[in-house]
Amino acid sequence: MTCPWTRRYAQRMQGMSGSIIRELLKLTEQPDIISFAGGLPAPEVFPVAQFEAATQRVLANHGAQALQYSTTEGYRPLREYIVQKMSRYGIQTRPENVLITSGAQQALDLIGKVMLDPGDVILTEQPTYMGALQAWRAYQADYVTVPVDDDGICLDERFIEALRAGPKFMYILPNFQNPAGVTLSLERRRKLVQIADHYGIPIIEDDPYGDLRYEGEHLPPLIAMDADFQEETRPNGNGRSFTRGDVIYLGTFSKTLAPGLRLGWMVAPEEVIKRCVMAKQGMDLHTSTFSQMVAYEVARDGFLDEHKLLIRQVYRERRDVMLAAMEEHFPLGVYWTRPSGGLFLWVTLPDWMDAAELLKTAIENKVAFVPGAAFHPNASEGVGHNTARFNFSNAQPAQIEEGIRRLGQVLTRAMAEHHEDQIEPEPVLA
């Protein structure tokens, strides 16, 4: 007897079938597997003691408020904290421009709901964050993509060509991009903002990792560079304005505080925030009051700044261990990025190699990663089949070393077998 709902699914669900990759990745949850597949922070760095103290204070002093319904916009002191935090990165805004979301993932869903009609085109980097594709698939978006290199999205003729498709917006991860780990250079940031202005295409700037830089100087976010550019080219007498809204900025507490809280935020013009608030009301009324108040209590008074130093130290070490192990164990013909921050690096295999096939052998050898195809909006055309994302934040250094060693063996064997296949066997004379 069939379930009466199955023939009632919306058309948009046709684009949301379960993926083979997801099935494979379930295997990576076995405890004896060294997994570089997830995107998880290191649980060792969670400030559990600070959470204990903060929840006690919140419940003792504001217990009823913390457990009650609250406004869709979010807990006001947390929004004010975010305004203050962002001002240090050159983003001058007001609480009215900040919406608290249930993780930055919800901000992506909100943007889809408020902005996207079926068939609308989005310009993304290639590769790009899989979760954004998941969120926007539900709104039946189409994609034009532009490759990234070590300096982020390539602003050459391919970019201009993509803009000609008339995208509704472009989606950019400027810092230590998920999945490739690359960072948009200062020069390209400037150029991107100018081209976007020229073509009138607004930008979604997704910045989950900006705080996790392990070397070099912090680069200004696109939203700040856009405000500078507007003020230079069309001064309005009021100084820089962030409410023109050529750029919507997304942030999160998931990588610096704790992902389990599901807390992110969006910075946008007040008019857009109001629309998003209307949409969010229908989605979850508001983000957990309890999570918001506890996060605020942990983060205020500068704790997060201190804590970031610890996270950076731990992740920098793990990145270095992974890079050194790859250098030692990966065979010639395999390439990888060297991120200055964030949680991920990106591996490119020889073109004849299929990363999903490699994952099967890797899992047999108790090590895992994510094949890169899922990060390509147009993966059905075979793009990205030989790429893979590696997370270096979650596993301990010794595990990283061991996991990469095992993968090196798997890769070396695969290369050798391929090489043998290439050599014509001598004809056997009858």
260 touching its own copies, by CB under 8 A: yes
**Residue 210 lies near its own copies (rule: CB under 8 A):** no
310 belongs to the binding site for its own copies (CB under 8 A): no
Residue 115 within binding range of its own copies, rule CB under 8 A: yes
Comparing CB distances to its own copies, the nearer of 261 and 353 is 261
Q: What is the closest distance, in whole angstroms, from the C-beta atom of residue 149 to its own copies in the complex?
A: 28
- DSSP 3-state helix, strand, coil percentages of the chain (rounded to 5)? 50, 15, 40
Among 14, 30, 87, 236, binds its own copies (CB under 8 A): 236
Q: Are 326 and 406 in contact (CB under 8 A)?
A: no
376: which 2 tokens? 């390509």
Residue from 268, 343, 347, 373 that binds its own copies (CB under 8 A)? Answer: 268
Q: Which CB atom, from 152 or from 269, has the smaller least distance to its own copies?
A: 269
Helices 303-329 and 397-422 cross at an angle (nearest 10°) of 30
Cβ proximity to its own copies: between 111 and 414 the closer is 111
Residue 242 in contact with its own copies, rule: CB under 8 A: no
Closest approach of its own copies to the CB of residue 87, in Å? 21
Stretch binding its own copies (CB under 8 A), from 265-273, 385-393, 413-421, 422-430: 265-273
Out of 14, 20, 30, 68, point to the residue binding its own copies (CB under 8 A): 68
> What DSSP string describes 352-374?
T--HHHHHHHHHHTTEE-EEGGG
The span from the CA of 18 to the CA of 10, in Å, is 16
Nearest one of 111, 81, 83, 108 to 97, comparing CA atoms? 83
In the complex with its own copies, the residue whose CB is nearer, 258 or 363, is: 258
Convert 307-355 into a string of H (helix), E (strand) and C (coil). Answer: HHHHHHHHHHHHHHHHHHHHHHHCCCCCEECCCCECCEEEEECCCCCCH
Q: Does 262 bind its own copies (CB under 8 A)?
A: yes
Among 149, 215, 284, 421, binds its own copies (CB under 8 A): 284
Q: Which residues contact 317 (CB under 8 A, 6 or more apart)?
A: 397
Determine, following the binding rule CB under 8 A, whether residue 32 of this chain makes contact with its own copies.
no
Residue 339 sits in the site that holds its own copies (CB under 8 A): no
Stretch that binds its own copies, among 58-66, 92-100, 340-348, 378-386 (CB under 8 A): 58-66
**Least Å distance between CB 333 and its own copies?**
34
Span 125-184, contacts to its own copies by CB under 8 A: 131, 134-139, 168-169
d(CA 430, CA 410): 37
CB 372 within 8 A of CB 346: yes
Q: Which amino acid is at 249?
A: Y
Nearer CB in complex with its own copies: 235/382:
235
SS3 labels along 147-214:
EEECCEECCCHHHHHHHCCCCCEEEECCCCCCCCCCCCCHHHHHHHHHHHHHHCCCEEEECCCCCCEC
Q: Which is nearer to its own copies, 67 or 356 (CB)?
A: 67
